[in-house]
Amino acid sequence: MAVIPRRVLLVGATQGLGLALAQRYRAEGWDVVATTVVPSPALEALDGITVLPLDITDEGQALALRDSLAGQRIDVLHIVAGILPQGDAPIWERADEEVLRVLKTNAIGSVRLATLLELLVPEGGTFAFTSSGMGSMVRNTLAGADLYRVSKAALNMLVRSFAVTHGGKRAVLIICPGWAKTEMGGADATVEVADSVDGIYRLVSTAHPSADGAPFLEYTGDTVPW
Ligand SMILES: NC(=O)c1ccc[n+]([C@@H]2O[C@H](COP(=O)([O-])OP(=O)(O)OC[C@H]3O[C@@H](n4cnc5c(N)ncnc54)[C@H](OP(=O)(O)O)[C@@H]3O)[C@@H](O)[C@H]2O)c1
């Protein structure tokens, strides 16, 4: 009997963890649809991958993506897109436009997209959101990076609500990739991209709906305290 490959929609795959995850899903035999804001030659060079445009902050582009995927099955909606605001100014010293842009990119856009695409994800499918330990209240013992922390804490809250209202018989995961050596993580990061992706892939590809709604998990599978 022919095995139908599972299909993932990977959002934010231009570079970093998103690109490495696209490579991993392909290597594991998945059909991969990936989105980028700017063109990504490394992504487009992958065999058998469909690349579509999406700025996650733009509702019109999210609706256009939904239209272009109409009728398709998405087993896993995996959202990786995110930005780290520059500098360490407290949130109240930043321009309103910047605060809104970061919240829309890291929190609001992800959950809006999942809500728009939810009918494409069948029972047994998975929604995976990319958060950060920086969004944990308990882990905030150093302060700093206000805006990034707030955006990831907001993502966690919105995803918890999404799991209640839209999860159904589908898994909903909130994943912290660890401090990974990407452009965002920088050279001092402690986790190799390959190790982060290995852990993330294992979590997503074996996910089941949870009585807890949306668990907050480290790439290693350990629970991150809220
Ligand atoms: N690296 C770490 O240490 C670390 C730790 C904790 C959490 N994270 C989270 O992990 C995710 C990936 O991080 P990374 O380290 O791979 O960062 P990265 O190398 O900077 O990549 C970020 C990705 O997000 C995409 N993106 C940014 N703005 C977007 C938008 N408006 N719409 C759609 N896509 C957008 C980028 O695409 P374009 O280039 O096309 O804009 C890029 O592919 C992020 O959510 C980040 O917050 C990372």
Residue 177, domain member (yes or no): yes
Helices (H) and strands (E) in the chain, counts: 7, 7
Q: Does the residue 69 lie in any domain?
A: yes
Contact 221, 205 (CB under 8 A): no
Atom 45 of ligand 1: nearest residue by CA position:
82
Backbone angles phi, psi at 39, to 5 degrees: -60, 145
CA dihedral sign, ordered 101, 103, 107, 109? negative
* Residue 81 within a domain: yes
| Ligand 1 atom, smallest distance to 105 CA | 31
Q: What residues make up the domain containing 174?
A: 7-218
| Parallel, antiparallel or unpaired: strands 31-36 and 171-176 | unpaired
Long-range CB contacts (within 8 A, 24+) of 51-55: 51/13, 54/11, 54/113
CA of 61 to the centre of ligand 1 (A): 18
Instruction: State the pLDDT at residue 88.
Output: 87
Give pLDDT tens digits for 94-105: 999 999 999 999
In sequence order, what are the residues at sequence separation of 6 or more whose Cβ sits closer than 8 angstroms to the Cβ of residue 192?
Answer: 180, 181
Could you tell me if 172 and 127 are in contact, meaning their C-beta atoms sit under 8 angstroms apart?
yes
132 part of a folded domain: yes
Q: Is residue 224 part of a domain?
A: no
* Domain-embedded: residue 55: yes
Q: What is the pLDDT of residues 8-42, one digit of tens each?
A: 999 999 999 999 999 999 999 999 999 999 999 99
Q: Is 151 in the pocket of ligand 1 (CB under 6 A)?
A: no
Give me the CATH number covering residue 47.
3.40.50.720
Residue 8, token pair as written in the block:
């993932």
Q: Is 130 inside any structural domain?
A: yes
Mean pLDDT for all residues in the chain: 96
**Which residue's structure tokens are 């963890």?**
17
Residue 4 scores a pLDDT above 90 = no
State whether residue 20 is helix, strand or coil.
helix
Ligand 1 pocket mutation, candidates 158, 184, 193, criterion most atoms within 8 A of CB: 184
pTM given for the model: 0.98
- Ligand 1 binding pocket includes 135 (Cβ within 6 Å): no
Contact 117, 165 (CB under 8 A): no
Domain count, the chain: 1
- Dihedral of alpha carbons 185, 191, 194, 199, sign: negative
